[in-house]
Amino acid sequence: MDKAFELQRQVRNDVRTLQTYLTDLQNWEVEMKRKEAALNGEFEQDLPPVRSKARKEKPVQEKKETAKRIKASDYGAWEKFDVTDSWQEKACEEVDTAEVGPTSLDSKKSLPAKMEKLREEAQYEKERGNSFVKQEKWDDAIACYNRAIELVTDDAIYYANRGLCHLKKDSLHQAEADCTEALRLDPTYVKALQRRAAARERLGSLRGAKHDLHEVLKLEPHNADARRQLGAVVARMGTKGAKSKSSPTSESNPSPPTKERPKIVELPPSAGQLRQEEGAEQRWREGRGEEVTVIKPVKKPPHLRSKRALRHVPIQEILLGRTIVDKPATRLEIVEIEDHAHGDSNNNDSNKLKQNSGIDCDGDKNIGVIGDRFDQIDPNLVNSDKVSASMVAPTNSVQFILEWKSLKGNDAARSDYLSIIEPSKLPAIFENALESDVLADVLRALHAHPDTFTRHGVGEYLRSLCRVKRFSALAMFLSATDKELLRHMLARCRAAAQLSDSDVVELKHKYEL
Amino acid sequence: MDNEHTPQIITHIEHNMNHCLFDCKWIPCSAKFVVIGSLPKGTGILEIFEITSGELKKVKEIERPVSFKCGTFGASSDVERRLATGDFKGTLEIWDLEKSCQVYITKEHTDIINSIDGMGGNIVNCGAPEIVTGSRDGTVKVWDPRQKGKPVANMQPAQGETRRDCWTVAFGNSFNDAERIVVAGYDNGDLKMFDLRTMSLRWECNLKNGVCFTEFDRKDIPMNKLVATTLEGKFHVFDVRTQNPSKGFAQVLDNSAKSGTIWVARHLPQNRDVFITCAGNGQVSLWKYKYPEQRFQVDSTGVAVGVAGKLQRLQRMVISSQPINALDWNRDHAGLAVATAYDQYVRVLVTTKLNLQ
């Protein structure tokens, strides 16, 4: 008998292990897909020489050989990596042979005539590229511009044109990098700005796009295209949700649109305070009156970035008076980096961060700003305002639950948090992880502060909650008090005309009232 | 070991292909693998599959006039992920799978390339990217993808000697930029170890039966263990740390399983002392090598002699009705493997509880 039990237990254990494994596997598949998409052809290898060559050649020659190879495998090789079809492969070989010319010319660079020749050649390549662009042969055009860039590295036009080709090919990151390079060479290059704006818009870096378009309009106030594009970007930003709005860094744009400001502040202080606050922020931004060195974000195209590995920076907690900032502060920081990096998430310049006496990590900067900014505000408001300002809408249930728990006992903050969540996204956030106690808490928060939900309306939330998976099961566990709250809320919604009579009947049915 | 911690081998996905399969390889940094085979009409085919929640999804296929035999990603970086293939006519090709085109073609072998191995692509400071091919024409050639057309090293029998069919090749000992070793197994049971640094034959022995497969437990460390599988269900594990001038390497032989030819032995990428063997009767067996107390002894003349360890079988499972001819562990996910067999099925296998101690 014992043996039978033992066997059964064994089988059950095995099945459980397998199930865990398969769940893991599924997560891994998703993760791998994401990682694979992130592989963007950026690599560098310092390889030992080919065996037969290392053997045969004299040491001097061998040295020359490797030097040449490194050159090819550097930026140039990276550029060439992009080519697509077999025709291009031939082109690559062509380049290799063509390159012998320029490199030998390079040694006598002092002669201006040689430089002139290089320029001519590059110009010719550009013309060819332009004709390919007209025929919409993007890959061929990119190859031409690559060669042009190899010959003359400091002409913005080549980069901008290649950026256009990348843009047409939907290689958005490369397009953005090219335009950035072009702008580095010529900051007033309107076409490059417009192309970068287009790339950024499609990458989802709306603020970056807006910034670029503002620049365009500064340079060419009557540029109708840019105006239209800007309109589209601003419209998209308006619908993008609280994430971009609640970020405190939109002032980093040179001409901040003031109409967005009121939405950012949850509990709007008086106008004087607002100005003060901005002054404080400005002061913080420049690091005045503080024992800190301000680290400005560095933007670089991928090929110019440091190849060194990132250095580990230990994070230390610093307590500033009563304001204890933990998780929310870090999230705030994440948003800020996104903004400065203009959507380029793999900006790995953090090794530029020199350790400073005042700053040990990025997070501390935040502590600085929060302490500084809210010292001047009524202490009663500090808590909720601080929390809500740093809240970010969750994308999954884990984030939600974490945040939700951290806000325990602070119902006002909880309703603020709910209010930044798009109600239509609730089913996607919770999937099947909504627990009955969380649901009860959510209902309580919805009930307690109905005026927080001006943007979407309590009814909208109630309707979305019904669509969460397994909701019918959860509804069974609602307590009598919860149901009382619900009835009250539904009545209020009907009174405020947020819900029609039929909706209310349907919801009552769903909540089993 | 009690049942509680015995690894389980389970066929997660089984997919019928309706043509002959020869090799399969995971594409690095992805949940995709490539299956190498040949269609009934004699053309070669590369197919890329992706696993998505318990199902195989065909992503791409490439057909070529000549049957492919074997392939490897070993000489390519994780970013480029170029597949090197050998085919029935002796052509070595390197494929850019994204663009479905070859970036390197060379035909130096005069007969089928039976085996291929690559090295140096994804690990830095382990030497140049190189590919080794073993062919029925009796030669073993080493290639560098940067050198077009000609091999960088060529190992062939001396003039007048019979050319034996080379069935398997493998890289190893590549722990710095200079050192590298190639082992090759032949149909007459010869196992030869070539040192690419000194360009010499370092060691050879005869295993009596044709050597079907050989692999070092790790390629990028000073050579540690070498597995060689043969016809008639035997395989040898050599401890290749200690080489005795007269006795060579210590070895342990397993012939317990009457399972027919052992086609493949693959070490787990996450644990070099665990490996799986795939046999002619469709059985896969999971083994663990147990090191002895001391890995070498010094004999009376003061020369070190290696001491072989013991083999322990952890699990076995018949998963196919025909010989399993290729298996590849996934590098990124422990316990995940893909295998092809002559019953024209490709199988994704999962092995649980591999973190043994």
Could you tell me whether strands B310-318 and B283-290 are parallel, antiparallel, or unpaired per DSSP bridges? antiparallel
CA A14 to chain centre: 42
Q: Which range has the worst mean pLDDT, A284-298, A340-354, A405-419, A430-444?
A: A340-354
Query: Residue A278: what pLDDT?
Result: 56
DSSP tag of A323: B
pLDDT one-digit tens code per residue, A343-391: 344 444 444 433 333 444 444 444 443 434 434 434 444 444 445 556 7
Where does the pLDDT of residue B126 fall: very low under 50, low under 70, confident under 90, or very high at 90 and above? confident
Residue A207 to residue B63: CA distance in whole angstroms: 47
Percentage of the residues of chain B whose pLDDT score is greater than 70: 99
% pLDDT > 90, chain A = 0
* Complex prediction ipTM: 0.81
Three-class secondary structure of residue A282 per DSSP: helix
The residue with greater pLDDT, B103 or A85, is: B103
Tokens at residue A309, please?
């590995």
Q: With residue A350 as reference, give the H or E element that holds it.
A: none
At residue A59 the predicted structure's pLDDT band, cuts being 50, 70 and 90, is very low
What pLDDT, on a 0 to 100 scale, did the predictor assign at position A255?
A: 42
Which residues does residue B155 pair with via DSSP β-bridges, in sequence order? B140
Contact B339, B12 (CB under 8 A): no
The per-residue pLDDT for B250 is 92
pLDDT at A456 over 80: no
**With contact defined as beta carbons under 8 Å apart, do A182 and A189 qualify?**
yes
Write down the pTM of the prediction.
0.51
Q: Which of B129, B152, B196 sits opposite A47 (nearest CB)?
A: B129
Q: Which of B1, B3, B155 to mutate against chain A (most A CBs within 10 Å)? A: B3
Encode pLDDT of A24-39 as tens digits: 898 898 888 888 887 7
Tokens of A117: 């020749």
The arithmetic mean of pLDDT across residues B114-121, rounded, is: 91
- Select the residue from A17, A29, A83, A308 to test the B interface by mutation, using most B Cβ atoms within 10 A: A29
- Mean pLDDT taken over chain B: 91
pLDDT of residue A289: 65
Cα A360 to Cα A265, A299, A367, A370: the distances in Å are 29, 22, 12, 17
Structure tokens at A187: 């900051």
Q: Is B258 in contact with B242 (CB distance < 8 Å)?
A: no
With beta carbons less than 8 A apart as the criterion, state whether B9 and B351 touch.
yes
CB-based contact A18 B336, cutoff 8 Å: no
> Dmax of chain A from CA atoms?
97
Residue range A128-149: mean pLDDT, rounded: 85
* Residue-level pLDDT at A318: 72
B336 vs A252 pLDDT, higher one: B336
Q: What is the pLDDT of residues B185-211, one digit of tens each?
A: 999 999 999 999 999 999 999 999 999
What is the DSSP annotation of A191-259?
Answer: HHHHHHHHHHHHHT-HHHHHHHHHHHHHH-TT-HHHHHHHHHHHHHHHHS-HHHHH-TTGGGSSS--GG
What does the pLDDT look like over B59-100, one tens digit per residue? Answer: 999 999 999 999 999 998 888 889 999 999 999 999 999 888
Contact A264, A251 (CB under 8 A): no
**Nearest residue on chain B to A86, alpha-carbon basis:** B101
The answer on pLDDT for B277 being more than 50 is yes
Position B57 confidence tier, pLDDT thresholds 50, 70, 90: very high
Helix, strand, or coil here: B73?
coil
d(CA B52, CA B50): 6
Interface of B with A (CB under 8 A): 3-4, 8, 10, 12, 29-31, 51-54, 77-80, 99, 101, 103, 120, 124, 127-130, 142, 144, 146-147, 150, 152-153, 177-178, 196, 332-333, 335-336, 350, 352-353
**Predicted local distance difference test score (pLDDT) of residue B226:** 95
**Whole-angstrom distance, CA of residue A281 vs CA of residue A274:** 10
Best interface-test mutation with A: which of B81, B123, B144 has the largest number of A CBs within 10 A?
A: B144
A&B contacts, CB < 8 Å? 89
- Farthest-apart Cα atoms in chain B, separation: 63
Phi, psi of A217 (to 5 degrees): -65, -25
Taking each helix axis from N to C end, the angle separating A480-495 and A458-467, rounded to the nearest 10 degrees, works out to 130
